[in-house]
Amino acid sequence: MGNIVAIVGRPNVGKSTFFNRLTQSRDAIVEETSGVTRDRHYGNTEWNGIYFSVIDTGGYVLDSEDVFEEEICRQVELAIEEADKIIFLVDAMEGLTDMDKDVAALLRKCKKTVFLVANKIDTPIKIAEAAEFYSLGLGNVHAISAVNGSGTGELLDELVDDMENEPEEEEHDIPRIAFVGRPNVGKSSLINALLGKERNIVTDVAGTTRDTIYTRFNAFNFDLELVDTAGLRKKGKVYENIEFYSTLRSVRAIEKADVCILMIDADHGIESQDLNIIHLIQKHNKGLVIACNKWDLVEKETNTHLKFEEQIRKRIAPFHDVPIIFTSVLNKQRIHKTLEKAVEVYNNRTRKISTSQLNEHLLEIIQQTPPPTATRGRFIKIKYITQLKTYYPSFVFFCNRPQDLKDSYKRFLEKHIRNLWNFEGIPITMYFREK
């Protein structure tokens, strides 16, 4: 199980307020780069040292009176299917409503852990107002105020209590590659073109967990497991809100994969949803390959692909050391290349640099361009570097005054690591510790 938490509930109970409280300051990077907060429906957060993903289902609901009851129930069903834990928010100021009862009925049937949370309890006197929600039959009622934060600490303590930090990757020998991206970019088409046949689509039973599907791909000298997110096209069930569903699937697939092939539509370029996905891939320390698909639709002049590449790299900065491939599934152009690159990136992810190599090369660079002196005029000295035994590349720099080291200098170090060794497509984690 991963650490995916979905916030569900009817409109105006405070879902996005609570979501923002959980993710805001910590997710500032996404906001900065995308420039859009409105469509930010999921983020990462941390409590007691445990990282988890939060999905705000509310952002997807169309605010029109007659459709929403049905729409909300559908969101809840999807959340049940895809999330690990569910926070069901109700409004203590308004009290129990029929819609709350309908949502509760769905949640009572599911096997996921549900936290029933009465929001808008801004003062202790109001805690009594939470009592009526016990009748929903979902156990304990957590009283919180999303606006001032009271009660949220206790709720989060319980929420993360049995979560593992960094959901440990399941043991597996065969590289796992996920195709992620917005609806309609060509994920299913690509997978079908690779597999050469229509895949079996596993039918799901309502209210049960449907784990992401792995398809063994053993052909053309590849031996891989493809992590299916494109299983979106479920026969007989057409989701109006494909975007929401694909987000849920992507979050799960990213957790399961070693390397993600993010497909974008050449016609649209990188969109803010894509940046969210990249951010998530980075947070989970997974590999990334960008496939710019539908290349056949683009009118080309000299160097068109270089210009595209440059634009993409600008958008995804600072994590721009990423392979970008221009594909056309329609014309069968470079579709195997996506997998070749993914395998390269997989290998980069397992790359281990010996301590002696690291110190020999990096200490010299550091000596030539030492860290700028700290504010109080003290020198920062990096003495020793070593790579940790994590399943993704992470490095520790032992130094005095690590807290004074500037971000710009950290980026300088990362740039040199990338110049010296091949970590293309891989986020690099760096720790600075006092020895």
Token digits for 375?
């504010």
Q: Which is nearer to ligand GDP, 120 or 315 (CB)?
A: 120
Instruction: Compute the least distance from the CB of residue 267 to ligand GDP, in Å.
Output: 9
Catalog residues that contact ligand GDP under the rule CB under 6 A. 9, 11-17, 58, 119-120, 122, 145-147, 181, 183-189, 230, 293-294, 296-297, 328-330
Q: Which is nearer to ligand GDP, 75 or 293 (CB)?
A: 293
Q: Which is nearer to ligand GDP, 80 or 118 (CB)?
A: 118
In this structure, what are the phi and psi dihedrals at residue 43, rounded to the nearest 5 degrees? -155, 175
Distance CA 408, CA 404 (A): 12
Residues in the chain: 435
Distance CA 196, CA 20 (A): 44
Instruction: Compute the least distance from the CB of residue 149 to ligand GDP, in Å.
Output: 9
Instruction: Compute the least distance from the CB of residue 359 to ligand GDP, in Å.
Output: 45
Instruction: Compute the least distance from the CB of residue 243 to ligand GDP, in Å.
Output: 11
Q: Which is nearer to ligand GDP, 15 or 286 (CB)?
A: 15
Say if residues 350 and 185 touch (Cβ distance below 8 Å). Answer: no
Distance CA 220, CA 276 (A): 33
Instruction: Compute the least distance from the CB of residue 181 to ligand GDP, in Å.
Output: 6
Instruction: Compute the least distance from the CB of residue 279 to ligand GDP, in Å.
Output: 20
Q: Which is nearer to ligand GDP, 1 or 298 (CB)?
A: 298
Q: Which is nearer to ligand GDP, 114 or 426 (CB)?
A: 114
Q: What are the strands, taking DSSP E only, across 30-159?
A: 42-47, 50-56, 85-91, 113-119, 141-143
Say if residues 371 and 382 touch (Cβ distance below 8 Å). Answer: yes
* Residue burial 124-142, b: 16+ Cβ < 10 Å; e: rest: eebeebbeebeebebeebb
